[in-house]
Structure 1
Amino acid sequence: MKFTINKDSVTTDTSFGNLSVSTNEEEGYRPFQLFIASLAGCSGTLLRTILTKKRMDVDHMEILADYVRNPEESNRFEEIHFTAYVQTGHTLTEKQAERISQLVLTNCGMIQSVLSSIEITFKIQLADAKHPLQEK
C-alpha cells in the first residue's frame, strides 16, 4: 500500500476507493475509528461465516464496541469489548455462543495481531422481533 502524507491527513487509494485518515474528523477517518472498525469488520464477517457453516441464517447482525483507553500511555487501548447482536430464527445455547465467540477470537487475524497487548472480549447475544437490537 502506498500512502500520501498531506498537511492534515494521510491518504491511500484502495480498490474500493480513496481512504483519508486524520486526527481532524473533517479531514478523514480518525485512526482509532479505523482500528476498531478493522477489528469489528474482521470478527463480524468471521462470525457470519461460522453461523452460515452451522446452517444458521442471519437476518440481521450488529456489533457494538466498548473500549477503554489509557490517557497516561499515549491514549493506548487497554480493553476492547465486542457484543454481537444477532437476529436469527435459530436458537443458540449459552455454551454454543461461548464456543463460537472463542472461535471468532482465535481465528480473526486482526484480533490475533493485537491480543497480546489489548484485553479483547467477544460476546454473542440473540435478538428477535420482541427484543430488537440494542441502541447505544
Structure 2
Amino acid sequence: MEFHMKENGFSTTTTYGTLDISSEEAYGFRPYQLLVSSIAVCSGGVLRKIMEKRRQKVNDIHIKANVTRSGVGANEVQKIHLHFTVEAENVTEEQMEKNMRITRKNCSMIQSVKDSIDIIETFELRL
C-alpha cells in the first residue's frame, strides 16, 4: 500500500476505491477506527467461515465494538470488547463457544495485537 499526504491527512487508493485517513473525523477515517474495524471484521469473517465449514447456517452476524482508550498521552487503544449477535441455524451455545475459540486463534488481526490490546469477545445466539 502507498499513502499520499493531503492537506488534512493521508489517502491510499486500492482496487476497491480511495481511503481517506485523518486525525480529524471530518476529513476521513481516524486511525483507531481503522484498527478497530480491522479487528472486528477479521474476526467476523473468520467466524462466518468456521460456522459454514461446520455446516452451521449463518443468517446474520452483527458486531458491536466498544473501545477503551487511555485518554492521556498518545490515547492508545487499551481494550476492545467485541459483542457478536449471531443469527444461525443448527447451532448450540456450546458449539458457538467453540466457534469463538477457533475464531480467536485464526483471526490474524487479533493475533497481531493480542499482546498489546485486551480483546474481549462475547456473543448472543439467535436461532
TM-score range, shorter chain: over 0.9
| Alpha-carbon distance in structure 2 between the residues aligned to 1:68 and 1:26 | 22
The residue aligned with 1:80 is: 80
Deviation at 1:36, TM superposition (A): 0.7
Which structure features the higher share of helix residues? 2
Q: Residues 75, 116 of structure 1: CA spacing in aligned structure 2 closer, same or farther, 3 A cutoff?
A: same
Q: How many residues align?
A: 127
Aligned partner of residue 26 in structure 1, secondary structure: helix
Read off the aligned partner of 1:16 and give its amino acid letter. Y
Read off the aligned partner of 1:51 and give its amino acid letter. M
| Alpha-carbon distance in structure 2 between the residues aligned to 1:91 and 1:97 | 7
The residue aligned with 2:118 is: 119
Read off the aligned partner of 1:105 and give its amino acid letter. R
The residue aligned with 1:99 is: 98
TM-score (norm 2): 0.93
Which structure features the higher share of strand residues? 2
| Alpha-carbon distance in structure 2 between the residues aligned to 1:122 and 1:92 | 17
Deviation at 1:73, TM superposition (A): 4.2
Q: Which runs of 5+ in 2 are unaligned?
A: none
Q: State the 4+ residue runs in structure 1 displaced beyond 4 angstroms.
A: none
Matched, 1:42 2:42: yes
Read off the aligned partner of 2:106 and give its amino acid letter. N
| Alpha-carbon distance in structure 2 between the residues aligned to 1:78 and 1:99 | 26
Deviation at 1:8, TM superposition (A): 0.4
Aligned partner of residue 62 in structure 1, secondary structure: strand
Aligned-residue sequence identity (percent) comes to 35
| Alpha-carbon distance in structure 2 between the residues aligned to 1:91 and 1:76 | 37
Are the equivalent residues in 2 in contact too, given 1:97–1:123 (CA < 8 A)?
no
Deviation at 1:90, TM superposition (A): 2.2
Deviation at 1:77, TM superposition (A): 1.2
Cα-to-partner distance string for 1:5-49 (whole Å, 9 max, x where unaligned): 112010000011000001222211111111111111110000000
